[in-house]
Structure 1
Amino acid sequence: MQLPPLFNLPKSHLQCYGESVYCFRQDLLTRCGQGKTPLERFTSVVAWSISTTRPGIFGLAPYNPILGETHHVTNGTLNVLLEQVSHHPPVSALHATDAKENIELLWCQSPVPKFKGTSVEAVIRGKRQLWLQNFAENYKMDSPKLQIKIFPVPSADWVGDVSIRCKKSSLEAVLSFYKSQSFLGFGGNSRAIKGKIFHSKTLRTIFEVDGHWDRTVTLKDIHNGKVTVLYDAKEVISKLNTPVVNDPKGLWPSESAVVWSELTQSILKGDWEKASAAKRGVEERQRSLRRERKSTGEDWVPKHFKLGNTKEGVWECWPIEQAVPPAPIIVPVSNQNDS
């Protein structure tokens, strides 16, 4: 949706997608590849997947990325690259590699809003894949839906079912993100999560998952009843450091921080007149480029990904480069060590 700057977060959707991967205080992604058994690695992947779900803010939305916009950030040895590979429909692609840990991520996702009277529900189409290359394990997962309620109580929450699967180990998890019903929308169990981890071939449940994805999620061993903490949001995503530009000359013109620089600075200063002008400027340049391509019959092609979609409308993408190079924007190392 097109919103006036007053209702914009000072960042792009691409930056928000990227932050869910590279902004952390406790590195759960590296832990995924350090498990000694397939089950240890799988439970770590489940914890990491939950950590990518970040709380939203009702009434504020990031900028809609422009076609070809990129976001490139490094955290330690993890290099993350995103590109807006389609504008209509909006499709964002993410590729991340960690050469030291032999880990690779590939996402291709497109939000599809559905209006339901007093609420809007955005279904995130597309799959997320995580490879632990040391073990030749590929984990496929999807995303919960973003539900924005306007009445009776305004809220923005992630809801719906998520599946996580590893074909090699035959392990699977089903997680349900939900908010329990309450009287006239007040009260209820907010940001709750419940699910199970099981063998897909025998359907035998191994662990039960329960808790709140923005607080603590526990794991109950069905065999002996032992309960352990699977995920602690405070330890993982609190007190996050802001990425900083380490190499200004290395920034691409398509970088989110460059594309939206004037708008972001105006919002942070509260200069709404200048912010509106800056946003119009970005949008008008995009319309002009679109008209030019149409007049010449030129098809726009992504720089960093190859793109395709299935009959079900689920988009797929493949990175052109095998590994993501180090970025000019970095996350300070202290981000992982602050107490």
Structure 2
Amino acid sequence: MDRGRGDRQGSQLTKDFFFKATGEERERRIILAKPLTVGEETDVDYRAPNPLQLVFSLFRNVLPGSDLTKFQLPPLFNLPKSQLQCFGESVYSTATDMLSRCNSSENPHDRFIAVVAWSISTVRPLVFGVAPYNPILGETHHVSSGNLNVLLEQVSHHPPVSALHATDEEENVELIWCHHPSPKFNGTSVEAEVQGKRQLKLLKRGETYVMNSPTLSMRFLPGPAADWVGNVRIQCQETGLEAELCYRSSSFLWRKGNHRSIKGKIFESSSLKTLYEIDGHWDRIVSVKDINHGKFTVMYNAKEVLSGLSAPIVKDLREVWASESAVVWSELSQGILSKNWEKAREEKKAVEEKQRELLRERESKGETWVPKHFSVSYCKEGGWDCSPIQQKVPPAPIDVPL
């Protein structure tokens, strides 16, 4: 099954990104912008007008080593979507069905390679100088892509923690992720370690794959750049296999060969024997080499997976929750897309002030906010843990066109 092939909704703003309901029963304005893709232009200009202005703002207002989770970007430097939407897109916005491939082989080695390839597909392009909105507490994002139903909720605001649950009943696949970015300003760069456990469960195989995420890096010198760096480990206790991946960016001296490169290996957990070597570029081609036979195989082609992606569409406007990201931020997104910066600033301020008001109300009543869709816990050793309350995610009123 293919998901999201090409732009079949046209290029007009009213068809791709803007939906409005009228009537007394319910009124919803929904802005759904296209996801970032690899190697192609989009109808939305995601570039910051003057990235150096953002750099100067950080130097003026933030001390090196500071936590940036409370730093607010002006709308000029925002993408027309929430971080919650971007998080969800990494799972449901693909041009080929990577998850089904994880289940398809009877060979555990082939399944593990497919899981590694799927993990690479969740890494998406970054644009220096622009960032999505910080999600509000209780914000949700509920989207279906084929048989895959995805639900996200912002379960904490300070610190920012997002939870994701996705199920595909036909493939017997389940995803449970906890996403906690921790950005820090280091003087010449911003490094955002993405904490939280990610689990991919192949239920009919009885296998659980546990993995982490690479680190987001925004570098100012010698030239502005945004990329993913760091190490990712993927483990499956049931098969006894592990993978280590290293994401690398251009070095300080701008050696182009390292740009968006990825190297790694797949090995046996018990003996540490290397079975496969992984090499390539996550935004192009990644190959795997069978150590025993010396055979090279393309395991991931970013152009096939991350190009021709469409924005989701609304199937049933009456079923869209008021907490949906595309509803919460609709007026701000519309201001950004139309480049009406005064309107965008007003709408962003309105959303933020409403949240402060709700916080004051809870504090005055001695109430504690509780997530609707996840149970959340935290411990110093294991960090944040987000467990879905429901066993399965229901079909969503927002859908990725096939």
1:182, 1:188 within 8 Å by CA — same for their partners in 2?
A: no
2:190 is aligned with what amino acid? V
2:280 is aligned with what amino acid? G
Q: CA deviation at 1:35?
A: 1.4
Aligned to 1:147: 217
Point out 4+ residue stretches in structure 1 off by more than 3 angstroms.
185-188
Distance in 2 of aligned mates of 1:31 and 1:230: 11
Aligned to 1:192: 261
Q: Identify the match of residue 13 of structure 1 among 80, 83, 92.
A: 83
1:74, 1:330 within 8 Å by CA — same for their partners in 2?
A: yes
Distance in 1 of aligned mates of 2:328 and 2:301: 35
Q: CA deviation at 1:151?
A: 1.6
Q: List gaps (5 residues or longer) in structure 1.
A: 334-339
Q: Identify the match of residue 384 of structure 2 among 295, 309, 315.
A: 315
1:80, 1:95 within 8 Å by CA — same for their partners in 2?
A: yes
Aligned to 1:78: 148
**1:81-108 deviation line (CA, Å, top 9, x unaligned):** 0000000100000000000100000000
Aligned to 2:126: 56
More divergent stretch after superposition (162-171 vs 35-44): 35-44
Aligned to 1:121: 191
1:291 is aligned with what amino acid? R
Secondary structure of the 1:105 match is strand
Is 2:135 the partner of 1:65?
yes
Aligned to 1:109: 179
Is 2:315 the partner of 1:246?
yes
Q: Identify the match of residue 135 of structure 1 among 205, 209, 213.
A: 205
Q: CA deviation at 1:266?
A: 1.0
**1:36-66 deviation line (CA, Å, top 9, x unaligned):** 1111111000000000000111000000000
2:247 is aligned with what amino acid? F
Q: Identify the match of residue 326 of structure 2 among 233, 241, 257.
A: 257
Distance in 2 of aligned mates of 1:7 and 1:101: 39
Aligned to 1:41: 111
Distance in 1 of aligned mates of 2:164 and 2:126: 20
Q: CA deviation at 1:109?
A: 1.4
Distance in 2 of aligned mates of 1:187 and 1:211: 13
Distance in 1 of aligned mates of 2:91 and 2:286: 19
Is 2:401 the partner of 1:328?
no
Q: CA deviation at 1:180?
A: 4.4
1:153, 1:186 within 8 Å by CA — same for their partners in 2?
A: no
2:88 is aligned with what amino acid? G
Aligned to 1:337: none
Is 2:345 the partner of 1:276?
yes
Is 2:288 the partner of 1:219?
yes
1:251 is aligned with what amino acid? V
Q: CA deviation at 1:312?
A: 3.4
2:158 is aligned with what amino acid? H
Distance in 2 of aligned mates of 1:160 and 1:302: 31
1:181, 1:188 within 8 Å by CA — same for their partners in 2?
A: no
- Taking every aligned residue pair, what percent have the same amino acid on both sides? 62
More divergent stretch after superposition (172-181 vs 89-98): 172-181
1:122, 1:145 within 8 Å by CA — same for their partners in 2?
A: yes
Q: Identify the match of residue 26 of structure 1 among 96, 106, 111.
A: 96
Distance in 2 of aligned mates of 1:166 and 1:188: 31
1:120, 1:147 within 8 Å by CA — same for their partners in 2?
A: yes
Distance in 1 of aligned mates of 2:382 and 2:368: 20
Secondary structure of the 2:210 match is strand
Normalising by the residue count of structure 2, what TM-score does the alignment of the two structures yield?
0.81
Secondary structure of the 1:10 match is strand
Distance in 1 of aligned mates of 2:75 and 2:250: 33
Q: Identify the match of residue 246 of structure 2 among 160, 169, 176.
A: 176
Distance in 1 of aligned mates of 2:290 and 2:382: 38
Name the CA shift for 1:4/1:313 in 2 (closer, same or farther; >3 Å): farther
Secondary structure of the 2:263 match is strand
1:192, 1:212 within 8 Å by CA — same for their partners in 2?
A: yes
Secondary structure of the 2:231 match is strand
Name the CA shift for 1:65/1:259 in 2 (closer, same or farther; >3 Å): same
Distance in 2 of aligned mates of 1:310 and 1:106: 18
Q: CA deviation at 1:187?
A: 4.0
Distance in 1 of aligned mates of 2:362 and 2:169: 38
How many residues are matched? 332
Q: CA deviation at 1:186?
A: 6.4
2:209, 2:236 within 8 Å by CA — same for their partners in 1?
A: yes
More divergent stretch after superposition (230-239 vs 106-115): 106-115
Distance in 2 of aligned mates of 1:114 and 1:267: 26
